[in-house]
Structure formats: structure tokens, C-alpha cells
Amino acid sequence: MSTHTLAVEAATIGYDERVVVHEMTLEVPAGRITTIVGANACGKSTLLRAMARLLKVKAGRVLLDGRAIDQIPSREVATVLGLLPQTPVSPEGIAVADLVGRGRYPHQGWFRRWTAQDDAAVEEALRATDILDLADRPVDELSGGQRQRVWIAMALAQQTDVLLLDEPTTFLDVAHQVEVLDLLTDLNRRRGTTIVMVLHDLNLAARYTDHLVALREGRLVAQGAPRDVVTPALVEEVFGMTARVIDDPVSGTPLVVPVGRHHATNPQVETHDLAG
């Protein structure tokens, strides 16, 4: 079970002169899957980047285990916090296993050689993302979906207690999207990894999350279990969309069904849950 805690305290985050996230206070529950959702440009990626220490906060603090994250040495942070960035770059001609192997850097000192443990970690990561067969192929030759899985494997090989993922389902077809999310769930259940991810698909988020965080224009609108958070009122507020919320027949989690201008034979909006 992950014992590392990640939190954000009254953080104002932005780029240059622009403020994107306003005074956000958020505690990430340890050992759970947290998903941040919201409309485009609501600040979810910005928040994640600040938590991953890629962006300096303008005000407030980001706390890892109760300590301000920018006070902690980078190598130490890297052994605890792993990241899947939005637009990674891969060197030309590198083999899949080698690229995934770069994830082992935080665990290797300056002159520490490659150990069997590193090999094992890489193989486990490749197996978990179902790309073990591709281990020796150059990354350039892979499709977008396969490449995304390579990057996820690299983050996994880092074997951190906390994993931050910025839109891990980009480029993946539906089957692989579900596979990746199932994999993350495995990771969470078996090793207790704390997972924080940004997803744009609200339904997948509702299904795979323990703790849902909804943002609008850089402010926290709601957080909690999906059952409590995902209501037609919330969907309206956060996404500006009219929808019905029903129970997913497979998982029992909330399922958002949009009401558009066409094909709405049964648009009656029902309140899903009367909690709060």
C-alpha cells in the first residue's frame, strides 16, 4: 500500500502572466485512483504538471509526504513519483526495451551498472502493457497506440509508488483504452500504487476511479466518489452539457448519456442520486 501522500495547498498555477488554476487545495488519497476531469482548458493538465513538479506554482505549495516538493532533491522525487507526459519524444532508432529501460535511471547511481533487477522491472512493465513481443523492435516502427503503451511501460518500469498520467488513453482505440485502465487498476489493487490521471472521457473516469475531481475554469467544483459526484447538475456545470445519468449496466458506476438536439426520444432528465 502506497504510503506516500501527495497534496496541493492553496496553489495558484499558471504560465507567464496567465493564471490557470486558482488557489486549489486538493489532497490525493493514498493508494487510490484519482481522476481529474473537466472541459478543455480548465486547468487539469496544468494541475497535474504542477503536481509532477514540471511547473512551479505561483503561490501555495505542492506537498509530497508533507514536504514542499521543490525542496526535495530531484532524484528522490523521481523514485517516488512517476509521470506519463502528454507529448514525449523518442530518440531515433532506439529499441523498445532500451527506451523502457530509461525509466530505471532514478534507481541507478552514476556508475551503477545495469542489474538483473533492472531487467526484471523492464520485463514486468513490458508484460503488463502487453508489448513484450515488441521488446527488440525500434520504437519508430510502432503505431501510435503501441508507442503510447511503450511510454506507459517506461513509467511503470520506474516502479514508483505514485504514478501521474496525463491523458494516457490518447491514440488508443477503445479496446486498448480499457486495457490500459484495467492495467492501472491492477497496479493499484496489487501494489497499492497511488494513481492520479487526467482523462477527458467522463464515463471511463467514472468507471475506473475511486476519487473523482472535477474542475471548471481552474477551480475545484466537486470531488469524491463518482457515485456522489457525477450528477446531471455537475455535468451541466462542468461541461455545459445536458445529460441523463444512469447506472452502467456492466459496472454499476454512473454512466453519462448526453442529450443532444437530435435522436433524443427520451430526454427527460432524472436526478440520479439524492446525496447532497
Applying the rule CB under 8 A, the residues between 100 and 139 that interact with another protein are: 101-103, 105-106, 110, 114, 116-124, 126, 132, 135-136, 138
CA distance 41 to 20: 8
Among 37, 52, 69, 206, which residue interacts with another protein (rule: CB under 8 A)?
A: 52
Q: Does 167 bind another protein (CB under 8 A)?
A: no
Q: Please answer whether residues 38 and 24 qualify as being in contact, where contact means their C-beta atoms are separated by less than 8 angstroms.
A: no
Which conformational region is residue 74 in: left (phi greater than 0), alpha (psi within -120 to 50 degrees), or beta? alpha
Q: Is the dihedral of CA 224, 225, 230, 235 positive or negative?
A: positive
222 binds another protein (CB under 8 A): no
Q: Does 79 bind another protein (CB under 8 A)?
A: yes
Write down the least CB distance from residue 236 to another protein, Å. 32
16 binds another protein (CB under 8 A): yes
Is the sign of the CA dihedral 31, 85, 75, 112 positive or negative?
positive
Q: Are 215 and 47 in contact (CB under 8 A)?
A: yes
Cβ at position 259, least distance to another protein in Å: 33
Measured CA to CA in angstroms, residue 212 lies from 71, 138, 172, 207, 245 at distances of 28, 37, 22, 10, 16
Considering only the stretches 48-56, 57-65, 203-211, 260-268, report the one whose residues sit in contact with another protein under the rule CB under 8 A: 48-56
What residues are paired with 216 via a beta bridge?
Answer: 219
Among 53, 149, 207, 244, binds another protein (CB under 8 A): 53
Shortest Å, Cβ 203 to another protein: 27
Q: Tell me which of 86, 203, 223, 242 binds another protein, using CB under 8 A.
A: 86
Distance of alpha carbon 197 from alpha carbon 80, whole angstroms: 16
- Looking at the Cβ atoms of 78 and 243, the one nearer to another protein is 78
Radius of gyration (Cα) for the chain, nearest Å? 19
CB of 20 to another protein, least distance (A): 15
Which amino acid is located at 84 in the chain?
L
CA distance 263 to 163: 40
- In the numeric block, which cell numbers belong to residue 79? 523514485
Q: Does 41 bind another protein (CB under 8 A)?
A: no
The nearest distance, CB 92 to another protein, in angstroms, is 4
What residues line the site for another protein (CB under 8 A)?
16, 49, 52-54, 74-79, 81-83, 85-95, 97-99, 101-103, 105-106, 110, 114, 116-124, 126, 132, 135-136, 138, 140, 154-155, 158
